[in-house]
Chains A and B, each alone.
Chain A
């Protein structure tokens, strides 16, 4: 299945296996969850949530500013 992944304003399509979670995508993208927030279809979502085909996933980097 395919999901849309967005990071720092850059969006791309990611191919992943059925049953993959948000955490799986972050791991594949080598992103440390400690450095930001994960949103699924615009809402803050638990990283163990399973993805569906066509979902939009956004990682919001928070490790700057203050």
Chain B
């Protein structure tokens, strides 16, 4: 048995490779919460009086986020509003939603729900069926855009000042590498503890209180706190660039503990230096259809839903052309 390096009394249950410490259950819980509280102080994420939307999915990251925020907001004096976006994936999100509801019941919080069907007129199940008829995209390409849009809409409609999302250190390190490898300097510069456009009408600023805790630590925290969470792979998840980076980073972390945090720290240090140099960015507009801030005439979510709505017509048109050619 390994003894906890912090209290030196109880048996350790967790090894934190990057700190060289082994922690027992109470010491790990205290460590995890301290990391989140410290992140909040460092970036001044949550202020007294904030009405804070919290994106919950029923998964481990958002379960850990919501639970730790109930503690944090008691100290700070802010209101929590859990929001669940239902993508409409039968047999997946419905099960996860049950866990999210159970957690909210446990915490005495009302869970607000909004579905893709209600916002975009189409569920993810329907989107996947229709995507073959238009320009084929991976399911995550639709879902990522739709979820971000729907969460923002729900938070805005509920009058939230900020929206906390469960992005952890793994997500942060992956995104930093992705933006770097795809050469997206504008996205690179916008990325950080605060996400997206920070001051804009109809846009609720996203914050990431879990940016200095890993995905594995979120799962450990939920397990030790006995929080209800759902563990199941999304039926539409596919091998993506992010997935490749996830595997790569986990291999690197195993051999060189602390690498994920070093990527984040290096990025934030670089960003500080780069802010002094003006970065040319396209002037932001508002989507002509839904009013969401975007760089073009329409936002990505409206472009995608319009494309899907026209799917049947396009197929008919394509078939007609083929038929005529045969003649």
Residues in A lying within 8 Å of B, measured CB to CB:
32-37, 43-49, 60-66
Residues of B within 8 A of A44 (CB): 13-14, 25, 220, 223-224
3 A-B pairs with least C-beta separation: A64-B233, A34-B250, A62-B219
CB-based contact A46/B230 at 8 Å: no
Instruction: Decide yes or no whether B53 CB sits under 8 A from chain A.
Output: no
| B13:A46 contact, CB within 8 angstroms | yes
**Is the CB of B11 closer than 8 A to any CB of chain A?**
yes
**Residue from A36, A49, A64 in contact with B1 in the complex, judged by beta carbons closer than 8 Å:** A49
Which of A45, A60, A65 interacts with B234 by CB under 8 Å?
A65
Give the contacting residue for B253; candidates A34, A43, A62, A65; CB below 8 A.
A34
Q: How many residues does chain B have at the interface if contact means C-beta atoms less than 8 Å apart?
A: 33
Contact partner of A46 among B14, B57, B216, B237, CB < 8 A? Answer: B14
Task: Decide: B2 and A34 in contact? CB cutoff 8 A.
Answer: no
Complex alpha-carbon distance, A64 and B243, angstroms? 10
Instruction: Give B residues with C-beta under 8 Å from A.
Output: 1-2, 11-15, 22, 25, 57, 59-62, 96, 166, 215-216, 219-220, 223-224, 230-234, 237, 246, 250-251, 253-254
Given A46-B1, A48-B2, A60-B219, 18 additional A-B pairs, CB 8 A:
A33-B254, A34-B250, A34-B254, A37-B216, A37-B220, A37-B223, A45-B13, A46-B11, A46-B13, A46-B14, A47-B15, A48-B15, A49-B2, A62-B216, A63-B215, A64-B233, A64-B234, A66-B61
Most buried by B among A61, A63, A66: A66
Chain B residue numbers with a CB within 8 Å of A63 are 215, 246, 250
Decide yes or no: A46 and B59 within 8 Å by CB, A34-B254, A65-B231 being known contacts. Answer: no
- Closest-CB distance, A60 to chain B (whole angstroms): 7
Kindly list chain B residues whose C-beta atoms are within 8 Å of the C-beta of A43: 13
> Chain A residue with minimal CB distance to B25?
A44
Taking the closest CB of chain B, its distance from the CB of A10, in whole angstroms, is 15
The 8 Å CB contact of A66, one of B12, B15, B60, is B60
- Taking a contact as CB atoms under 8 Å apart, the answer to whether A36 and B11 are in contact is no
Report the Cα distance A35→B246, complex, angstroms: 10
CA distance A63 to B249 in the complex (A): 12
B15 touches which of A46, A62, A65 (Cβ 8 Å)? A46
Neighbouring B residues of A61 by C-beta, 8 Å: 231
Instruction: Tell whether, in the assembled complex, residue B59 and residue A65 are in contact, meaning their CB atoms are under 8 Å apart.
Output: yes
Q: How far is the CB of A45 from chain B (nearest CB, A)?
A: 6
Closest CB in chain A relative to B241 CB, distance in Å: 15
- State A35–B231 Cα separation when bound (angstroms): 13
Give A47's nearest chain B residue, CB to CB.
B15
Smallest distance from the beta carbon of A26 to chain B beta carbons, Å? 10
**Chain B minimum-CB-distance residue to A48:** B2
